[in-house]
Amino acid sequence: MNKKKLLHKSTESFLIFSVIILLIAAPVFYFISQWLYIYETEEVLLMHKGAFVKESHSNFTEKDIKLWNKYNRDVMIVPDMGVKKDSIVGVIMYDSIAEADEPFRIIYSPVKINGKKYTYTERINLLEMEGMVFSVAAMFLVIIIILLIGIILLSKITSAKLWKPFYNTLDQIHDFEIDKNKAPHFTPTDIDEFDRLNKSLDLLIEKNTAIYKSQREFIENAAHELQTPLTLFQTKIETLSQLNLNEEQSNLVGSISNDVSRLNRLNKNLLLLSKIDNEIYFDKNPVVINNYIEKHLDFFTEQAASKSIAIKTDFRFSLKITANPTLTEVLINNLFLNAIRHNKKDGSIIVTTLENELIFQNTGVKAPLDTKKLFNRFSKSNPSSQGSGLGLAIVKKIAEANNWKIKYTFDQNLHCFSIRF
């Protein structure tokens, strides 16, 4: 869906409204002007007839009437036509001077000259009126268009200036990352609404940043504090397992040892996430992904042996990247372990390297995973899994820290995780 900017949206609405008003106003103005001109023309005809009756014809003779008609082209005194009252009509007549049919307004009015009835006629050519009305309407249209363009340009210029603080705030919020130590600095503005928005965002960012730092420090401190007792606990369990224990005691100690190992892995993963958040792994070196996988393939094959999972490599390209070696190792390990843990018995894993992409495909449940929760921390597709629920969360965090693209797809009953470098 195409999005529109608020400024363009408001300008577009104003423009549509103005065009509609213009389209309605122009013909209305034309017809009103035309009606007013005809009305004024009729008033002129009545005024001329009144002046004739009052001043001109009191002493007219037949000879005077003939001379009048001879030298007055548009005003004629004709024998009585039976007109009882003043009558004005519009007709199209041939004009000998213009040599064309033209519109006229004609008055027929009864008059008496020396006691004899006549009909007074006068005509006025409306063609000049139509040209004048058209010219006025065209001038009106031009003025309105110029006014409209001026208003739109002025609106865009002033609106762009008025909304500049808002767009500045929007850009800074878009680029803001809470795990970075760079807080946005909003441009001061004298517009009350934008000023309140900036202050509210400042307060919100300050509170959320404080909460985020507090949580991160708590996880880091807790993980550090837990590491020592966990190590001691693991050592004591190993010492206890070497004693002469019966089968039930041995199983119990083994179960406790597995739980402590899981807790130890969880603690290390939390420490790793905290270090990635703090950007401790900043040194980068060339790393060949193919070499690392080949070097540790025996270890991963051994891990997959309990489920009889076959691991196949498809190294189409030598995938060389520039990254932190430790984080790259963690990334590959987690992808391998995830493919093993969530696989089925007698399943398979296919590892493919392309020119700038690493792909892990594995069998498993015959349904796509929930992509909304897949990379969340402590999210597990299988609650009975022995994993910590942080494996894919760490993979995503490493990818984000290096601006790599991670993608999950499900095709032909294979779960596919790809990292594009």
Q: 219 and 297: one domain?
A: no
Helix axes of 127-175 and 6-51: crossing angle, nearest 10 degrees = 170
Mean pLDDT by 10 residues, the chain (421 residues): 62 75 77 81 86 74 83 85 86 75 86 84 76 71 80 77 84 79 80 87 87 76 74 80 80 80 73 68 83 90 91 92 87 91 92 93 90 74 56 86 90 92 91
Amino acid 350: pLDDT: 94
What domain range is 312 assigned to? 285-420
Amino acid 291: pLDDT: 92
Q: 242 and 302: one domain?
A: no
Strand ranges (DSSP E) for 157-237? none
Whether 227 is in a domain gets the answer: yes
CB 327 within 8 A of CB 289: no
Q: Of 110, 126, 146, which residue is a domain's last?
A: 146
Q: 77 and 99: one domain?
A: yes
Q: 211 and 294: one domain?
A: no
Q: 269 and 294: one domain?
A: no
* Dist CA 333 CA 394 (whole Å): 11
Amino acid 282: pLDDT: 62
Amino acid 78: pLDDT: 87
Q: How far is CA 325 from the centre of its chain?
A: 40
Q: 373 and 394: one domain?
A: yes
- Count of structural domains, the chain: 3
CB 105 within 8 A of CB 126: yes
Amino acid 128: pLDDT: 61
CATH code: domain of residue 94: 3.30.450
Amino acid 393: pLDDT: 85
